[in-house]
Chain A
């Protein structure tokens, strides 16, 4: 990508007006300055991330020294007796985000395919606008809606029925509160649908028309074209969109804390309350009075940081894997 600047000095200079050596060297100087400026911007991101990691780890040191690695797999969170373990929080963070993806990905892909492939232009414009509007709703408003509308509805209509039919299955067992892991997952799903669907739509729109035309020429139906030509071509982009959504879900605080029940426990049931790291940080930081307590909260932030890094690494690896197989070739 950086090549064209050097190429300009060679063959393509014929297209430019003749310039003196001084002007050329001044241009080279400007080029170099511009280049180092941009390099500086690029590096600043790395410095920022490294600085954050270092600062967090340093502030978490008292807790790291006090609890050791057991912090990661113990489940008690007792601020009164200064006993802290992050496992239920890490579990709640991952579980609620995965649940959100499970609910949001099919819907988002459906929306994206509809908008990019099927919907008439007018409908597509209006619908895209509405989806972007959904993304703009402040999370605290979604959270309030979650308490007053979603949770009661989940309790009275969804959880009771699921419990009656599938109550024998641990995932749907136990008392129904409405507020709990399921509500947290649904709220998160609502928040990530706009992200995944709008990015996926752009990805699908970028699939070359020739891809589709080739399939149609072979006598494929619209469904076959979408399944065999469009989706495989956009795979990497769609995975990227999903990861973007996952990132949002992992870090979301306000809406989740209002409906997830904020109880640090690991329960197999979707109906039971859970807790996420981001929510715990937001909730407990202001009133954390002892040094060890504050430090334990910061160590949890480190854990969240690592979870985010890991998911992004996995996503990179997935994209790399997918991209290796030639686009347009379906299994």
Chain B
């Protein structure tokens, strides 16, 4: 609460003293008059999930614009949100969209910009059974609720008639630490199971009804690999790089879909349709409609203060964002992130154009 009021006071003061800031900030940050094209450094902090892509972006952008440096610390979404709130960074990054309360606590309008989508694969270790086990969403929820406890449960067998599932206990594995992956996975479970939504809910860390916690993707994958009967969830990229088994999951349209980049982009497109309707980017793209969508997916976001306090930095940020949602998208696929569908790029364009300095849009010439 004190933080909030502090931020508000600071914000108010910064508005009142805009003239002073305009004089002082350029000297501090660029070391020259406001309009001069000197070296600019942006600082960001937040989510770890998109870090490989973001570090590629920042390096690439620095190559294209040698006088612009963007530093990013992958300290986790929670840290990123806190730093944006305190105003110690120029932008933040979070895997989970901010709730209404969190946005209110920011003390100033924050724009959430979805940058890429990621999806989560179910990996398992059933001796003698390879990739392609069929898992229905409600069964995944029941397994994680501790209601389905054995692999030869009739409900699992019903979807896998050609496979003989063994009489083996299911060992549920989840992420031990707070993570965006967990947020997207529990969002999915909350959508497909009212029992899950009521009792557990969604979050970067939740109170797991059953299971053991592995540290990081490697911890979950390791525990699954080493424990016969284990089921866990890991990022798609991790499954692909480590050749883990993965399940085929039924989507909202009733089709069985394997996790892939194209199926994730399809899910993002499904979410984009909803964003167009509600005008809110904080939709879940988990369990989205569409014949080819993979149901366990989510966006990762950049958090940008809508009203920039520095003309030069603000311009650099919007230019960079524009580049990221257009040219930057081609870097996504090689790193196993799903590029944004065209509808969403259009939505992002509008959001970026809404970022202002002293009430005036910073990006107008496009």
Inter-subunit contact B212/A80 (CB<8 Å): no
For residue B95, which residue of chain A has the nearest CB? A287
Inter-subunit contact A263/B212 (CB<8 Å): yes
Does B291 sit within 8 A of A, measured CB to CB?
no
Does B77 sit within 8 A of A, measured CB to CB?
yes
Within 8 A of B (CB), among A150-193: 151-152, 155, 175, 177-180
Please give, as numbers and ranges, the residues of chain A lying within 8 Å of B131 by CB-CB distance. Answer: none
The bracket for how many chain A residues form the interface is: 35 or more
Please give, as numbers and ranges, the residues of chain B lying within 8 Å of A285 by CB-CB distance. Answer: 76, 78, 178
Mark interface residues in B190-203 (1 if CB within 8 Å of A CB, else 0). Answer: 00000000001111
Within 8 A of B (CB), among A74-114: 76-81
Does B75 sit within 8 A of A, measured CB to CB?
yes
Mark interface residues in B31-48 (1 if CB within 8 Å of A CB, else 0). Answer: 000000000000000001
Give the contacting residue for B219; candidates A80, A258, A286, A294; CB below 8 A: A258
Mark interface residues in B17-35 (1 if CB within 8 Å of A CB, else 0). Answer: 0000000000000000000
Smallest CB–CB gap between B125 and chain A, Å? 11
Smallest CB–CB gap between A273 and chain B, Å? 4
CA separation between A261 and B227, bound complex, in Å?
Answer: 12
Does B223 sit within 8 A of A, measured CB to CB?
yes
Please classify the interface of chain B as helix (H, G, I), strand (E, B), loop, or mixed, using the class held by over half of its residues.
Answer: loop
Does A5 sit within 8 A of B, measured CB to CB?
no
CA separation between A147 and B213, bound complex, in Å?
Answer: 12
Inter-subunit contact A147/B227 (CB<8 Å): no
Using A79-B205, A291-B3 as known contacts, say yes or no to A178 and B226 having CB atoms under 8 A apart: yes
Report 27 cross-chain contacts, Cβ distance below 8 Å, ordered by A residue: A78-B207, A79-B204, A81-B207, A147-B223, A148-B226, A152-B226, A177-B227, A261-B213, A262-B215, A263-B208, A263-B211, A263-B212, A263-B213, A275-B213, A284-B178, A285-B76, A285-B178, A286-B78, A286-B178, A287-B77, A287-B78, A287-B179, A287-B180, A289-B78, A289-B102, A291-B3, A294-B78
| A contact set with B: CB distance below 8 Å | 76-81, 143-144, 147-148, 151-152, 155, 175, 177-180, 257-258, 261-263, 273, 275, 279, 282-291, 294
| B contact set with A: CB distance below 8 Å | 1, 3, 48, 75-79, 81, 96, 102, 169, 171, 176-180, 200-208, 211-215, 218-219, 222-223, 226-227
Besides A257-B176, A285-B76, A290-B102, 10 other CB < 8 A contacts? A177-B171, A178-B227, A261-B212, A262-B215, A263-B211, A263-B213, A282-B177, A288-B205, A289-B81, A291-B3
